[in-house]
């Protein structure tokens, strides 16, 4: 958006409700205004998408869907989204207006944070991610620039879902899916991401808060992205040995290269952070690793420390004696079970038969095995083996065991064959909810969009194969989703210099919606005539599109000074 367009939006009232008062920020995707919500009499932030994005139909659909999902988030550490709306050329969201600074700005003069302040921020961020992930929303661009610090030490996460929207428009200036310094390895590979990708990026933010530096840097974005895939970050305690070992472990686990080695949920990470915070609120880790009490004024109590050390030595000695006794007992049990019991026992020894390849029902109902074995069962999908046939066993056949009164334990793995599942009827259901349900059933879902006058936007029109049919696990279900009614379009007329009444009549006759008329002084256009229109003449636009006009007040007149009367002589 250029400066002329920004000036044009100022003073406009969107949806007869949001008056744009001041530009407070801009970026590659959007420009942000401070606005007044005239209905609720409160200040809000309005983020208007770039015109090039608003004109991209695929982006518009994704923007509407993602924004509605984000608006469902309600958490004290997430920037609230109040409203989502659109016109023929405008896509915008209305958000909570915050007075604060980004975490990046907050870190700049400080370099790094204390352990306690880092924990205060990190626990809030983890709780925010837990709430969003629980709603099925992944941020995809966690970085200090998207974390807002406000008065009182509260931190809020902003711009949920925006990074994913960027993938729909490849020509967004200077934008990428996730900032390269905080991008997860799976993002760097271009693979699908889940909530664990947010935890990796959050781990790098925690690393930066503690050390004042980033774990990976390089000559260019490609070099940095490759380091996320293969390099190992410098351990935090090598940068600052005073950082507690447990806190280093938490951060490095969040930053694990493989998603399977990271925290699997934000709840797990938040729990470890909170547990560590509680541990340091009443204790101090001494150089020898022992936990030393802290006096009420925060200084170490020497007498308590020495008493704890003496107690520790006594406990260590008793623990050693106890450990020796446990070892002797364990050795005795081992010798009895694996040697002495056989020497003194006359029980029968049984050789484990080969159960693999047999039907489980045949084995379990056989009198030959009924008293000798105790079977533990697990089931496994194997499309190549008929349902009910044993495909694995432990112990292996041929091994010999002493028969006991309880029978010999044998673990059997049984084939379920091809697991078939019936397709439920999700027609008419909101597609995100239906997709989630189908994925839980084990189906892979492919989405198609069609215009529909009968089915609501973003709701399912049809499913293929048809509901009620049986499909094997992992099969693909094709879901057709409503893109809304097919739009009727009109050509925008040229209204500049037309009288306001004529312009309003033309707009009304075409089925367009006149949303706002603002008045400006103009030396070239007569008063009461149109100065500008938000949609260029000749543009094909949908019926019902919102139109904004500026009408001339005529030239601004400077009043002439009133002459002062001079009293006549003699008065």
> What whole-number percentage of the chain has pLDDT above 70?
79
pLDDT per residue over 367-415, tens digit each? Answer: 677 678 888 877 676 767 777 888 888 888 888 887 777 778 888 888 7
Q: For residue 318, give the H/E element and its range.
A: helix 302-335
Mean pLDDT of 440-459: 84
CATH assignment of the domain containing 473 = 3.30.10.20
pLDDT for res 570: 56
Whether residue 166 is found in the same domain as residue 50? no
Answer yes or no: is 326 within a domain. Answer: no
Q: Are both 73 and 136 inside the same structural domain? A: no
- Are 67 and 212 contained in the same domain? no
Enclosing domain of residue 186: 102-281
Among 452, 482, 512, residue at a domain's last position = 482
Position 378 in a domain: yes
Clarify whether residues 470 and 401 are in a common domain.
no
Residue 7 lies in a domain: yes
Residue 164 annotated as catalytic:
no
Residue 66 lies in a domain: yes
Number of domains in the chain: 5
| Co-location of 234 and 154 in the same domain | yes
Residues 6+ away with beta carbon under 8 Å from 265: 130, 133, 195
Taking residues 264-281, what's their average pLDDT? Answer: 92
Looking at residue 347, its pLDDT comes to: 57
Please tell me whether residues 191 and 258 are part of one structural domain.
yes
CA atoms lying within 13 Å on the CB side of residue 531:
19
Burial of 295 (0-12, 13-18, 19+ CB in 10 A): exposed
DSSP element (H, E) containing 307: helix 302-335
Mean confidence (pLDDT) of the chain: 81
For residue 502, what pLDDT is reported?
94
Among 264, 281, 298, the domain boundary falls at 281
Q: What are phi and psi of 310, to 5 degrees?
A: -65, -45
Judged by average pLDDT, the poorest of 198-202, 244-248, 441-445 is 441-445
Q: What CATH number is attached to the domain comprising 29? A: 3.30.200.20
Mention every residue, 6+ apart, whose C-beta is less than 8 A from residue 374: 406, 407, 408, 409, 410
Residue 77: which of 5, 40, 34, 132 has the closest Cα? 132
Tell me what the mean pLDDT of segment 37-66 comes to: 78
Q: What is the DSSP secondary structure assignment for residue 177, as one 8-state letter?
A: S
> Which of 30-39, 261-270, 338-347, 493-502 comes out lowest in average pLDDT?
338-347
Q: Output b/e per residue, 305-323; b: 16+ Cβ within 10 A.
A: eeeeeeeeeeeeeeeeeee
**What does the longest C-alpha to C-alpha distance in the chain come to?**
151
* pLDDT on residue 178: 43
pLDDT-derived band at 4 (thresholds 50, 70, 90) equals very low
DSSP 492-511: PP--TTSBHHHHHHHHHHTT
Q: Are residues 168 and 218 in the same domain?
A: yes
pLDDT value of residue 290: 38
Range with the poorest average pLDDT among 282-296, 469-483, 541-555: 282-296
- Cα 427-475-193 angle, rounded to 5 deg: 90
Residue 269 belongs to domain with CATH number: 1.10.510.10
Q: pLDDT tens digits for 190-241? A: 788 889 999 999 999 999 999 999 999 888 888 888 888 888 899 999 999 9
User: What's the average model confidence in pLDDT over 99-111?
Assistant: 90
Q: What is the pLDDT of residues 320-353, one digit of tens each?
A: 787 778 788 877 777 766 655 555 544 577 888 8
Q: Which among 50, 263, 288, 281 has a CA at the least distance from the CA of 173? A: 50
In a shared domain, residues 166 and 197: yes
558 located within any domain = no
Contact in structure between 25 and 31 (CB atoms under 8 Å): yes
* pLDDT, position 315: 65
Does some domain include residue 302? no
List all residues 6 or more positions away from 526 whose beta carbon is below 8 Å from its beta carbon.
Answer: 552, 554
Write the DSSP assignment of 393-462 as a string of letters.
Answer: EESPTT-EEE--TT-EEEEEEEE--S-EEEPP--TTSBHHHHHHHHHHTT-EEEEEEE--SSS-TTBEEE
Q: Is residue 337 part of a domain?
A: no
Q: Which residue has the higher pLDDT, 349 or 22?
A: 22
What lies within 8 Å, CB to CB, of 469 at 6+ separation is 422, 423
**Tens digit of each residue's pLDDT (9 = 90 or more) over 469-497:** 887 766 788 999 988 877 788 999 999 99
497 in a structural domain: yes
pLDDT for position 189: 82
Tell me phi and psi for residue 290, to 5 degrees: -80, 155
- Main-chain phi, psi angles of 539, to 5 degrees: -80, 135
pLDDT of residue 221: 80
State residue 239's pLDDT score.
Answer: 94
Report which DSSP code applies to 20: E
Q: How far is CA 234 from CA 164, 196, 237, 269, in A?
A: 30, 21, 9, 21
Q: Compute the C-alpha angle 230/190/92, nearest 5°.
A: 130
Which of 482, 502, 533 represents a domain boundary (last residue)? 482
Catalytic-role residue among 83, 88, 141, 411: 141
158/220 same-domain check: yes
In whole angstroms, give the CA distance from residue 367 to residue 346.
Answer: 23
Q: What is the DSSP string of 210-274?
A: HHSS-S---SSHHHHHHHHHH--PPPHHHH-TTS-HHHHHHHHHHT-SSGGGS-SSHHHHHHHHH
What is the reported pLDDT for 419?
Answer: 62
- pLDDT score at 240: 93
Question: Residue 100 to residues 141, 151, 491: CA-CA distances in angstroms?
Answer: 20, 7, 45
Looking at per-residue confidence, does 69 or 163 come out higher? 69
C-alpha to C-alpha distance for 226 and 221, rounded to whole angstroms: 9
The neighbour count for residue 447, using CB atoms within 10 Å, is 12
Helices within 161-220 (DSSP H only): 162-166, 185-188, 195-211
If asked whether residues 117 and 266 sit together in one domain, one would say yes
Which tokens go with 538? 């000749």
Same domain for 174 and 277: yes
Instruction: Identify the pLDDT of residue 287.
Output: 45
DSSP character at residue 143:
S
Residue 519 sits at the vertex; the CA angle it makes with 517 and 524, to the nearest 5 degrees, is 120
pLDDT tens-digit map of 127-183:
999 999 988 888 888 999 999 999 878 999 988 755 454 444 444 433 333 478 999
pLDDT for the residue 551: 94
pLDDT at res. 175:
38
- The mean pLDDT value for 284-293 works out to 44
CA 288 to chain centre: 40
Half-sphere exposure of 157 (CA within 13 A, CB side): 33
Residues 35 and 108 in one domain: no
pLDDT at residue 124 greater than cutoff 60: yes
């Amino acid at each position: 958006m250029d400066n002329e367009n920004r000036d044009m939006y100022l003073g406009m009232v969107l949806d007869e409700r949001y008056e744009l008062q001041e530009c407070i920020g801009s970026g590659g995707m959007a420009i942000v205004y401070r606005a007044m919500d005239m209905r609720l009499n409160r200040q809000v932030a309005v983020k208007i998408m770039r015109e090039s994005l608003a004109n991209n139909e695929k982006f518009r659909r994704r923007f509407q869907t993602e924004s509605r999902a984000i608006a469902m988030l309600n958490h004290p550490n997430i920037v609230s989204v109040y409203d989502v709306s659109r016109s023929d050329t405008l896509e915008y969201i209305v958000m909570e207006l915050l007075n604060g600074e980004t975490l990046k700005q907050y870190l700049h003069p400080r370099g790094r944070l204390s352990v306690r302040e880092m924990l205060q921020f990190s626990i809030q961020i983890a709780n925010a991610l837990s709430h969003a992930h629980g709603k099925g929303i992944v941020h995809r661009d966690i970085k200090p620039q998207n974390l807002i610090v406000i008065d009182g030490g509260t931190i809020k996460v902003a711009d949920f879902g925006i990074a994913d929207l960027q993938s729909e428009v490849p020509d967004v200036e200077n934008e990428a899916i996730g900032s390269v310094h905080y991008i997860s390895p799976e993002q760097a590979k271009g693979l699908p991401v889940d909530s664990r990708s947010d935890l990796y990026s959050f781990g790098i933010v925690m690393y930066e808060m503690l050390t004042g530096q980033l774990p990976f840097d390089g000559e260019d974005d490609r070099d940095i992205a490759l380091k996320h895939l293969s390099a190992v970050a410098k351990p935090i305690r090598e940068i600052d040995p005073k950082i507690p070992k447990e806190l280093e472990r938490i951060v490095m686990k969040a930053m694990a290269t493989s998603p399977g080695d990271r925290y699997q949920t934000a709840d797990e990470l938040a729990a470890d952070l909170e547990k560590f915070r509680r541990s340091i609120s009443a204790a101090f880790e001494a150089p020898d690793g022992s936990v030393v009490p802290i006096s009420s004024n925060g200084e170490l109590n020497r007498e308590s420390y020495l008493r704890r050390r003496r107690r520790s030595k006594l406990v260590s000695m008793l623990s050693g004696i106890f450990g020796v006794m446990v070892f002797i007992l364990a050795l005795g049990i081992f010798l009895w079970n694996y040697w002495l019991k056989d020497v003194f026992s006359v029980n029968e020894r049984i050789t484990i038969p080969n159960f693999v390849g047999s039907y489980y029902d045949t084995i379990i109902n056989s009198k030959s095995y009924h008293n000798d074995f105790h079977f533990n069962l697990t089931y496994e999908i194997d499309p190549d083996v008929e349902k009910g046939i044993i495909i694995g066993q432990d112990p292996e056949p041929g091994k010999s065991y002493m028969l006991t009164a309880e029978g010999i334990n044998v673990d059997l793995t049984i084939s379920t064959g091809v697991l078939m599942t019936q397709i439920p009827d999700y027609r008419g259901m909101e597609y995100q909810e239906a997709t989630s349900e189908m994925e839980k059933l084990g189906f892979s879902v492919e989405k198609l969009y069609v215009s529909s006058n009968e089915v609501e936007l973003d709701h399912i029109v049809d499913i293929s194969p048809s509901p009620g049919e049986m499909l094997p696990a992992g099969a693909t279900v094709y879901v057709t989703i409503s893109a809304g009614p097919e739009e009727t379009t009109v050509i925008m007329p040229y209204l500049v210099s037309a009288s306001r009444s004529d312009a309003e009549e033309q707009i009304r006759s075409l089925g367009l919606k006149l949303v706002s008329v603002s008045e400006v002084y103009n030396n070239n256009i007569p008063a009461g005539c149109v100065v500008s229109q938000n949609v260029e003449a000749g543009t094909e636009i949908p019926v019902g599109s919102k139109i904004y006009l500026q009408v001339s007040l005529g030239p601004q007149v400077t009043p002439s000074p009133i002459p002062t009367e001079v009293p006549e002589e003699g008065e």
